[in-house]
Amino acid sequence: MKFAKKTPLRFAFLFTFFSIMFFSCKKNAITVNNTSQPRNVSVYLGDDPCQYDSVFIDIKDIELKIDTSSVGRSNDYPGDYYNFHGQDNTWNCGNDHYQDKLHFFKNGIWDTLGIQPGLYNILALRNGNNVIFATGNIPAGTILEMRVSFGPNSYVVVSGVKYSLNLFYNYDNYAYIKIHGNDQDNQSGSGQTSMSLDFNICKSINEFHGKYFLHPFISIYAKDQTGRIEGIVVPHSAQPYVTAWNGTDTASALPEDNGEYMMSGLSAGTYSVMFQGKFGYKDTTLTNVQVTNNTETKLPKITLHQ
C-alpha cells in the first residue's frame, strides 16, 4: 500500500487508508529462512473478523517468490526499508515490475501454489476454523514474499443488503506479503513448512459514498512462533465482540453462537482483553493476560450484564 499521493476528494480518502496500512502490522525481528532442500508448503487461511453479515472474497491464485541463489537473503539488506514502513509484514498493490523496483529482493522466481480459485466465505474462518488454503512443492531457497491475486466478484452483505467489493482505482489486483523465517512453523529437516494468513476484514473493507472498497489487509504468522487466547463470553443476545491488544499487537474475535472465541497469531507478551456488548450490555475488560508462543491462554468465562 505504498502509492503515489492522489488529490483531491475521491483519492484523498484512499491516501488515508494507505497510510493506515503502512503502520498497522506487528513488528518482528528480520530472520533468514534459507533451506538447502525442496519443501512441501501449506498455507492456512483465517479471519480477524468484523461485524458484517457475510464477506465473500474472490481469490484467484497464490504465489511464493523464492531466491534460489547460493547467497539467498541475509540480514545485510538496508534497514531503511523496514524503518520507513514501520513493519515487516506489509502487502502492496501494483504490478510485479513496480514491486521489483520497490523491493530490495530482486533475485528470485515466482512459484505458483495449488488452490481452489473462487469465492471464500471469510467470516466462516474465525475462532480457529482455519482451512488449508494452498499447498505445493517448492524448490530449495529462501522464501522472500507471497503474492495473492484477487478476482472481481468479491462482495459484502450489510444489514441484509449485498454490495460489490470494488478494488481500488489504478492498481492491479495483487496483495504482496513479505515473509521471514519466524513467519514459518519450525519443521526443520522434515521437508515441510506451513504459514498462516490472517485476513483482517475490518481494515480490508472501506465504505465511501455508499460503495464498498476492498483493500486486503493480510498478516502472516507461524503457529509455533505465536500464541492464542480463547474462552467463552455470554449471553449470545448481547452480540459480544472481543478485542485483545497491547503496545504492538491487536486481534479481535466474533464469538460463535455458544460464546466460544479464539484469537490466534499473537506475539508473546501481556495483553488487555475487552468484551463489548450491544443493547445496553456493559463492557468488561481483563488486564495482564499473558500470552506465550505455541500456547493457548484460556480465559475464564465472561458474562456480560445490562
Judged against a pLDDT cut of 60, whether residue 225 lies above it is answered with yes
Local confidence band at 277 (pLDDT 50, 70, 90 cut-offs): very high
C-alpha dihedral, 264 to 267 to 273 to 279, nearest 10°:
-40
Domains and their CATH numbers in the chain = 9-225 (no CATH), 227-303 (2.60.40.1120)
Residue 15 has pLDDT above 50, yes or no: no
Name the grid cell of 199.
485476513
Query: What is the percentage of the chain residues whose pLDDT exceeds 70?
Result: 72
Percentage with pLDDT > 90 across the chain:
43
pLDDT digits (tens, 9 = 90+) for 56-100: 999 999 999 998 875 444 433 333 232 223 233 433 434 443 344
Q: pLDDT higher for 42 or 299? A: 299
pLDDT for 152-189, tens place per residue?
999 999 999 999 999 876 456 888 888 887 777 765 55
pTM above 0.75, yes or no: no
Mean of all residue pLDDT scores within the chain: 77
In the predicted structure, residue 199 carries a pLDDT above the cut 70: yes
